[in-house]
Amino acid sequence: MSRAEPAPPDPARDACLALSLFLTAPAQLGGLSLRGSGPAREALLEMLRDTGVAVRRMPAHVDDERLLGGVDLAVSLASGRTVRARGLLEEIAGGVLVVPLAERLDHAIAGRLAQALDSDARFGLVLLDDGIENEGPPAALLERIAFFHLRCDLGGGLFQAPRPGAHKGFNLLG
């Protein structure tokens, strides 16, 4: 990765800029959506983690009990009173929830996330969108986040003609 190389075409820098802006106020800005998997997106996620903000990954198979919280049966039965277990959305307060395969996200889960963003949200969303062609994250989420359609895949326009040296990775921060 040489610093002397000219800045790469803009999508990567846009994504970087959006990430920095998003991190100034994750909950207020709602989130960002990163389209296209690859080393560029991994680098962005690495940047995100390096900032020290709490980051949790929400698997697509999350259930309501873990997402929204519910009764902790084992503890409740043992203690003889209802004990509530916190859900992922509470646990991530002040942090960032990463949603992989956002283009495949179940609409019911998308609805719950949207509702959580509307009522005093205390987290930001990072949608990882691996869609191709018309696939994309649910509109209910896209309209609630500040930054979307950030291209960070290696193909489709980011590099039209690969230059020598492009293989070695590129300098995200330009």
Residues lying near other proteins in the complex (CB under 8 A) are found at 37-38, 57-63, 65-67, 70, 72-74, 77-78, 85, 88, 100-101, 104, 130, 132, 153-156, 159, 161-162, 164, 166-167
Name the phi and psi angles at 4, rounded to 5: -75, -20
Q: Considering the complex, what minimum distance in angstroms separates the CB of residue 24 from other proteins?
A: 26
- Provide CB contacts within 8 A for 100, sequence distance 6+: 57, 58, 59, 60, 128, 130
Q: Which residue, 102 or 142, is less far from other proteins as judged by CB?
A: 102
Q: Which residue, 76 or 115, is less far from other proteins as judged by CB?
A: 76
Q: Is the dihedral of CA 148, 110, 136, 41 positive or negative?
A: positive
Q: Considering the complex, what minimum distance in angstroms separates the CB of residue 115 from other proteins?
A: 18
- Provide CB contacts within 8 A for 119, sequence distance 6+: none
- Provide CB contacts within 8 A for 114, sequence distance 6+: 138, 140, 141, 144
Q: Considering the complex, what minimum distance in angstroms separates the CB of residue 133 from other proteins?
A: 9
Q: Which residue, 27 or 85, is less far from other proteins as judged by CB?
A: 85
Q: Considering the complex, what minimum distance in angstroms separates the CB of residue 46 from other proteins?
A: 12
Q: Which residue, 9 or 146, is less far from other proteins as judged by CB?
A: 9
**What is the C-alpha separation between 110 and 52, in angstroms, rounded?**
26
Q: Considering the complex, what minimum distance in angstroms separates the CB of residue 16 from other proteins?
A: 19
Q: Which residue, 135 or 143, is less far from other proteins as judged by CB?
A: 135
